[in-house]
Amino acid sequence: MKSKQNRTLKEFDSLYKMIDDVYHEIALSMHLTDSAFLILYCLLELGDGCSQKDICKLYSISKQTINSSVKSLENKGFLTRRSGAGRDIHLFFTEFGRKFSEEHISPVFDMENATFAAMEPSECELLLSLTRKYIQILKENMKQYILEEKEI
């Protein structure tokens, strides 16, 4: 028999998708792909010289997606790439990319901060705590699922 999502899981998935949609709309408003927006967001947050690997880890995005978007952003004049230790590639804003990001992506940080500021500190901590717990349990269940699949 096929399992189905219960009502709570459906709502959680829907809420997660709504958050994703907000960022998708923001990226579209800047004429950027979701991954291009995320790279510029990350570079502004982490600073010049962050590596592609840092972005992959921080946002759980594949190396191929990041690499493809980085090349596109480089071709459009937003950033430059420089080799680092080993196979690491570090990203740096061009003057155009920095100005664009400060004008268009910095306000997103402000919006996000204002969103949390509109909530009670206890609500923020509860949201973070429960989300951490959900992820921890999900990862444990995923490991068990993978082990069971290997036995088949």
The rounded Cα 41 to chain-centroid distance in angstroms is 9
Q: What are the distances in angstroms from CA 100 to CA 3, 8, 54, 123, 126?
A: 47, 40, 22, 33, 35
**What band does 9 get if pLDDT is binned at 50, 70 and 90?**
confident
Do 49 and 89 share a structural domain? yes
- 23 plus 78 within the same structural domain: yes
Place 88 in a pLDDT band, splitting at 50, 70 and 90.
Answer: confident
In contact, 50 and 80? CB cutoff 8 Å: no
Write the CA distances from 103 to 41, 107, 108, 109, integer angstroms: 12, 7, 10, 11
Q: Which domain holds residue 79?
A: 7-118
Q: What is the pLDDT of residues 42-73, one digit of tens each?
A: 999 999 999 998 998 888 888 899 999 999 99
The verdict on residue 79 lying in a domain is yes
CB atoms within 10 A of CB 123: 11
In a domain, 76, yes or no: yes
